[in-house]
Amino acid sequence: MVNWSDIDAVIFDVDGTLYDQPRLRAIMARKLLFQVLKKPWSWPEIRLLKDFRALRERLAHEPDIDLAQEQYQRIAAKHGVEPARVRAVVEKWMQRAPLPHLAACRRPGVRSFFRELAQRGIGIGVFSDYPARDKLSAMDLSAQVVICADDPQVNQLKPNPKGLLAVARELGAQPRRCLYIGDRAELDGEAAHRAGMACLIWEPRDTGRPDRFTSFEQLRRNLVGSNPSSEHTP
């Protein structure tokens, strides 16, 4: 699957990769439903969030946009509110509200895999399309470098490789000696390809493809079995 002797650093996606995203979304859907039942006037927030998610999917395929501005300005114009209002709703429901539930949704074996990487001197980085530091803390995970698409030095969504290259640079690792782990081949896999990195894609069922995996415990066993040399520590 992976020749660990060729890897100096592992860079992770977060949403859908480190935790079970459908499970979290089901939890958040219940919270949002309760919010609307309790405060019917909050219904516009739900519509705003739905449109924001859809816009982000489209923006991933628009090259060289000013992500930090466009993602809020377009939704603000559609809903007739200020961009600051859009930002506040997104931060409330997509960044803060999920945090108490992330530990319960964390994929099995993730913490053990992170520990194994650290013990073997393999660099750990994160690049996510959404802010990730608080999510990592909520899942009791840590990385040496954490960058998200909104950060000024990136300001681009995957599959643009700019974020992955920024993480590799801060880790002091050459892209060809980095492994990116994600859950969407059309975004994570394509970004890694453009960055010149190896990539593994999580998927729920074993298809036998060497670029896919079904559990982090599987990756940890492969890493332990490979006994990679510490000579390649970044």
- What local confidence, expressed as pLDDT, does residue 144 receive? 98
84 and 123 in a common domain? no
202 and 125 in a common domain? yes
118 and 94 in a common domain? no
Burial of 116: CB neighbours in 10 Å, binned 0-12, 13-18, 19+:
middle
What share of the chain has pLDDT > 90, as a percent? 84
88 and 36 in a common domain? yes
Read off the DSSP letter of residue 81. Answer: S
- What local confidence, expressed as pLDDT, does residue 110 receive? 98
189 and 94 in a common domain? no
How many CB atoms neighbour CB 5 within 10 A? 12
116 and 198 in a common domain? yes
Residue 195 has pLDDT above 70, yes or no: yes
Residue 163 has pLDDT above 70, yes or no: yes
144 and 67 in a common domain? no
Q: What is the pTM of this model?
A: 0.92
92 and 62 in a common domain? yes
87 and 64 in a common domain? yes
pLDDT tens, 109-127? Answer: 999 999 999 999 999 999 9
124 and 97 in a common domain? no
Burial of 146: CB neighbours in 10 Å, binned 0-12, 13-18, 19+:
buried
- Out of 101, 124, 159, pick the residue that ends a domain: 101
31 and 83 in a common domain? yes
pLDDT tens, 17-41? Answer: 999 999 999 999 999 888 888 888 7
User: What is the total count of domains within the chain?
Assistant: 2
- Out of 78, 101, 124, pick the residue that ends a domain: 101
Residue 181 has pLDDT above 70, yes or no: yes
- Out of 101, 130, 157, pick the residue that ends a domain: 101
Question: Can you tell me the distance from the alpha carbon of 84 to that of 88, in angstroms, rounded to the nearest whole number?
Answer: 6
> Where are the strands (E) in the chain, listed by range?
9-12, 123-128, 145-148, 178-182, 198-202, 212-213
196 and 121 in a common domain? yes
Domain that includes residue 149, residue range? 4-19+106-232
